[in-house]
Chain A
Amino acid sequence: MVHVFFSGALKAVTNGVARLELPDFAEGDLDTLLRSLAGRFGPSFSDRLTEDGHLRRYVNVFVNGEDVRFARGLQTPVGPADSVDFIPAVAGG
């Protein structure tokens, strides 16, 4: 089961959903997961997170706590029992 967390900044497009469990998500990558979530929440979900096929500059996605920018970006593997956090990169200092 993949566990997904959405920051409050995304709640407008997740209908207020902050946490989601995806028992049926098969082995894939972040891109696959985003497509699956866009199927559930609509295309505006993807528009918030990606631009021209890349994660937007101020979007941080963590798979099991690791920033996907330090992994393989949208091709970062996501599998059952993984946790994925979508968080804006606007904190710090």
Chain B
Amino acid sequence: MGARKAKGRKSEITLEELADEGSLAAALTCEECSTLFPLDARTACDRCFGPLSVVYGHGPLRGTSPDEVLAGRAPGLWRYLELLPPVSPASRERVPLGPSPLRPAPRLARALGLRELWLKEDLALPSGSFKDRPAGFAVAYARDLGYPAVGCASTGNLAAATARAATLSGLPAWTFVPAGLPEAKLLPVRIFGGGIVEVEGTYDDANRVAQVLADEDRLGLVNINLRPYYVEASKTLAFEILEERHWDPPAVWGIPLGSGALLSATFRALMQVQDIGWLDSSEEELPRLVGSQPEGCAPIAEAFRKGSEEIVPVAHPETIAESLAIGNPASGYDALGAIRKTGGAADAPTADEVRWALREAARLEGVWSEPAGGTVLATFKRLVDQGTLDRSDSAVAFLTGAGWKTPPVWEGQDLGPRLRVSARERSLTLPDLAAFPSLAGAAAHGEV
């Protein structure tokens, strides 16, 4: 590794010094042609434009136990520093995060037909989605590299997370989003002090415009020119599940697919801890990764269902799951490969199935997820009904975003009674809530 200095900061930091902070990250490698690069700001492979990922030297951790390595560390994102790229303590301290709750959901498990279900509730993170992990990490990394400003291309969740991490890190943030997002997705960005550029077009258009501007304005776009580091932090979701379940994880992991980066990161996390020896299993015994996309934007799930090696982009995504409306998934091939290698599956439920699952989760477990999480739950239901998942399976669903961000999903839906009465009302008879068809789903399980 070269002695390149991080630019633009008063106290410059060498990469060697960063490596001394505990990270075992060694280099970037191209996933297509295996060319190696130093750990610098780099969008793609110089040789073939292929995506880059971080490679690690796990040697120092082999023969250790996770309890011995992790003992005494604060919970959260930075707990797993050996298994992430190097970030200085000063930048880490500015963006504390997590962990998110992992809790059993027995009533929802019964509704979906599973023996056991766990909910990984990243919707409880500060900006309302799992994006607090990669955004927090990448902004800290950008701070070490001396970027004067940060930003992202986003379907909404990442914009809020980037704005939050930026304000904590003392950096301005510009977020590029497709025009027309619900105000509930944009308001957090503004509250956290971020700027918004609404691009007339799809997410992929916003992404392209951001890339063109980032190259010229020295903007650290977390999911573009910092993407190789950004995606690494999503591994912590898996680390938290493994640690909380004492390294005996549920057999099936349900993960929403937008760009495919979260599922790919999850697979890399599993491979890392398997390589170190913390997870005692062969590749065949790894948790099966189940990918979920919504009908209307399902290029990865389509490729899986067809048994195809090619992912055909969707030009104009149409789905209630806006956070998954990425027609040209950057990590699609990686995700597809991970699903197949772990013996997993992928599917794409309809909007009605997603809404049903969201309401079941809300009424049976008190969890209000955005449609991405509902897509996972609805996929579990489909796969159980089809016999692809066994009713004796234990599963964990990644609930990656909060329901309060997506009010348009419920516009025009029958959500039960809403009465308005006079302030002098004295004789109102309240109706039986269980008699309303829209509430029958939860009531049918006899649990409400």
A residues sitting closer than 8 Å to B (CB atoms) are 5, 7-10, 12, 18, 48-49, 51, 56-60, 62, 65, 67, 69-70, 85, 87-93
Contact = CB atoms under 8 A, between A and B. Distances in A.
Contact of A8 (B43, B48, B52, B153): B43
B333 interface: yes
Contact of A91 (B42, B153, B260): B153
A89 B313 CA distance: 11
List the 7 shortest-distance A-B pairs measured between CB atoms, nearest first.
A93-B259, A92-B259, A88-B44, A92-B330, A9-B44, A88-B49, A93-B261
Contacts of A65: 201, 205, 208
Interface in B37-63: 42-52
B331 interface: yes
A48 B48 contact: yes
B71 interface: no
Nearest to B42: A9
A92 B331 contact: yes
A7 B44 contact: yes
A62 B52 CA distance: 22
Interface string B27-39: 0000010000000
16 contacts: A7-B211, A8-B225, A9-B44, A48-B47, A48-B48, A57-B333, A65-B208, A67-B315, A88-B43, A88-B44, A90-B44, A90-B51, A91-B259, A92-B329, A93-B326, A93-B330
Interface residues of B, number: 43
B212 interface: yes
B32 A91 contact: no
B344 interface: no
A8 B215 contact: yes
Contact of B331 (A9, A59, A87, A93): A93
B208 A87 contact: yes
B328 A58 contact: no
B262 A93 contact: yes
Nearest to A59: B49
B326 A89 contact: no
Contacts of A57: 32, 50, 333
B51 A62 contact: no
Contacts of A90: 43-44, 49-52, 224, 227, 330
Given A69-B313, A90-B43, A9 B49 contact: yes
Contacts of B52: 90
A56 B48 contact: yes
A9 B328 CA distance: 19
B207 interface: yes
- Interface-centre pick from A48, A70, A92 (highest chain B CB count, 10 A): A92
B333 to A, nearest CB: 7
Nearest to A19: B216
B162 to A, nearest CB: 13
B313 A91 contact: no
Nearest to A9: B44
B223 interface: yes
A92 B225 contact: no
Given A67-B204, A91-B207, A92-B329, A85 B224 contact: no
B7 to A, nearest CB: 15
B44 A58 contact: yes
A9 B43 contact: yes
Contacts of B224: 90-91
B287 interface: no
A87 B224 CA distance: 11
A57 B30 CA distance: 13
B391 to A, nearest CB: 32
Contacts of A5: 212
Contact of B328 (A7, A10, A48, A89): A89
B46 A9 contact: yes
A60 B211 CA distance: 12
Contacts of B250: none
A60 B204 CA distance: 11
B313 A7 contact: no
B212 A58 contact: no
Nearest to A70: B315
B374 interface: no
A7 B209 CA distance: 11
Given A9-B44, A67-B204, A93 B258 contact: yes
A58 B49 contact: yes
Contacts of A12: 46
Contact of A67 (B153, B259, B262, B313): B313
A88 B225 CA distance: 11
Interface string B184-225: 000000000000000001011101101110011000010111
